[in-house]
Amino acid sequence: MSSARYRIVALPGDGTGPEVIREGRKVLDALAENGPAPWTVDERPGGAQYYLQTGKELDPETLTAAKDADALLLGAVGWPGASLPNGDIAGAALVLGMRQNLDLYANVRPCKLYPGVLHRIGKEYKTVWPSELVDMVIIRENTEGLYTPARGRLRRAEDTEVAIDTRVITRKGAERVIRYAFELATRRTRGAPEDGVKRVTCVDKSNVLEGCRFFRETFDRVAKDYPAIEKDYALVDAFTQWLVRNPEHYNVVVSTNMMGDIITDLASVLQGGMGFAAGGNIGDHHAMFEPVHGSAPKYAGKNQVNPFATFAAVEMMLRWLGERKSDPALLRQADRLGTAVATTIAAGTARTYDQGGHVSTSEAGDVVAAAVRAVAA
């Protein structure tokens, strides 16, 4: 019998997913040295490549294990040419399926720029946004919107005549994710970099879409419970330019599912690219943490991709679990990892190809594991 208190289920998935999860586990091991590990990591196969081999995206027991786990850590899914009979990406069961089955309604994506990170603009690597200007969290609704299965095609004989995706915005779905955003703004010690103001920005297209009008009305209703937090609005198209031009204005941002999907990839550029972007899929009873990037098939097996997004995902996972279980030891481990990551980035000693460097995925993991050992437990 293991003395570990927490069970983590890891789903490495496809492509470079297993490579970054290996490094995530390496830093978890480094954190747990010199004492009994407070967690076990139960790694399960699944994804598009598994689907091609076995005809299923994951084993039925994996869903049960996920429901019993204290937290989940996902790598990435997707493989060229692998799709389900309905046309969805094979491996969706690990991402969209878990979000739905575990009711992980808030997709929480911090966008923070660490000193030492370079931006790739054109072919050059340089600092574009000063690090003190970028420190926000974008929250994407994660269970409805355009991602509901309310879609279909009208086929006549061999031809598709009509394809329809219906966007569903419910009172419950909008309200709980917006409340999550206001609670987070309340808890976060810092406000927006620009002025220190605690602010929640509602990003929508309420000048055109009915669902967005309902989302914004819900935002206004929920905001009444949080008089100390500033309400802010942005239409999604305008938001994309303000985000890039004035990132310092944003503190917490909340949006619907598909819009949140798009704006978080854009926002990742502010933090150095998808190689640094991590997210938590969080519900009331379960949570799954992941690097936001995909499986990058072109780099699979090359030991080249940036594992820092996974380190950030591991840090978020330890923090979420520590808060949930009121376990100060876990919170200290999250802080330790955060410090190790920040020092390594500042030192510029683990730059992978996306940062113009030559450090491999596993070497970056070694450097961060060593940095973890150097931070007092």
Secondary element (H or E) of residue 179 = helix 171-187
Dihedral pair phi/psi, residue 275, rounded to 5°: -65, -15
Stretch near ligand IPM under the rule CB under 6 A, chosen from 64-72, 87-95, 235-243, 331-339:
87-95
Beta bridge mates, 83: 89
- Residues 240-269, one symbol each (x = binds Mn ion by CB under 5 A, - = not), give ---------------------x--------
How many helices (H) and strands (E) would you count in the chain? 12, 14
Residue 86: how many CA atoms within 13 Å on its side-chain side?
Answer: 8
Stretch near ligand IPM under the rule CB under 6 A, chosen from 90-98, 156-164, 314-322, 325-333:
90-98
Whether the CB-CB separation of 217 and 102 falls below 8 Å is answered with: no
Q: How many CB atoms lie within 10 A of CB 85?
A: 6
Size of the site for ligand IPM (CB under 6 A): 7
Q: CA-to-CA distance for 12 and 256, rounded, in angstroms?
A: 27
Q: How far is the CB of 147 from Mn ion (least distance, A)?
A: 11
Whether the CB-CB separation of 94 and 13 falls below 8 Å is answered with: yes
Q: How far is the CB of 15 from ligand IPM (least distance, A)?
A: 12
Closest-by-Cβ residue to Mn ion is 261
Residues 263-282 that bind ligand IPM (CB under 6 A): none
Instruction: List the single partner that 95 binds among ligand IPM, Mn ion, none, CB under 5 to 8 Å by kind.
Output: ligand IPM
Q: Is 47 helix (H, G, I), strand (E, B) or coil?
A: coil
Q: How far is the CB of 89 from ligand IPM (least distance, A)?
A: 6
- Residues 130-159, one symbol each (x = binds Mn ion by CB under 5 A, - = not), give ------------------------------
Instruction: List the single partner that 14 binds among Mn ion, ligand IPM, none, CB under 5 to 8 Å by kind.
Output: none
Q: Is residue 146 part of the contact set for ligand IPM (CB under 6 A)?
A: no
The set of residues, in sequence order, having a beta carbon less than 8 Å from that of 123 and lying 6+ positions away, is none
Q: State which of residues 4, 37, 65, 96 lies at the interface with ligand IPM (CB under 6 A).
A: 96
Kindly state the DSSP code that residue 286 receives in the 8-state scheme.
-
Q: Is residue 144 part of the contact set for ligand IPM (CB under 6 A)?
A: no
Residue with tokens 């869903």: 63
Q: Is residue 95 part of the contact set for ligand IPM (CB under 6 A)?
A: yes
Secondary element (H or E) of residue 213 = helix 210-223
Q: How far is the CB of 140 from Mn ion (least distance, A)?
A: 9
Q: How far is the CB of 72 from ligand IPM (least distance, A)?
A: 14
- Residues 223-262, one symbol each (x = binds ligand IPM by CB under 6 A, - = not), give --------------------------------------x-
Whether the CB-CB separation of 188 and 247 falls below 8 Å is answered with: no
Q: CA-to-CA distance for 246 and 371, rounded, in angstroms?
A: 33
Q: How many CB atoms lie within 10 A of CB 261?
A: 19
Instruction: List the single partner that 96 binds among ligand IPM, Mn ion, none, CB under 5 to 8 Å by kind.
Output: ligand IPM
Binding region for Mn ion (CB under 5 A): 261
Task: Summarize as ranges the residues that interact with ligand IPM (CB under 6 A).
Answer: 77, 89, 92, 95-96, 261, 292
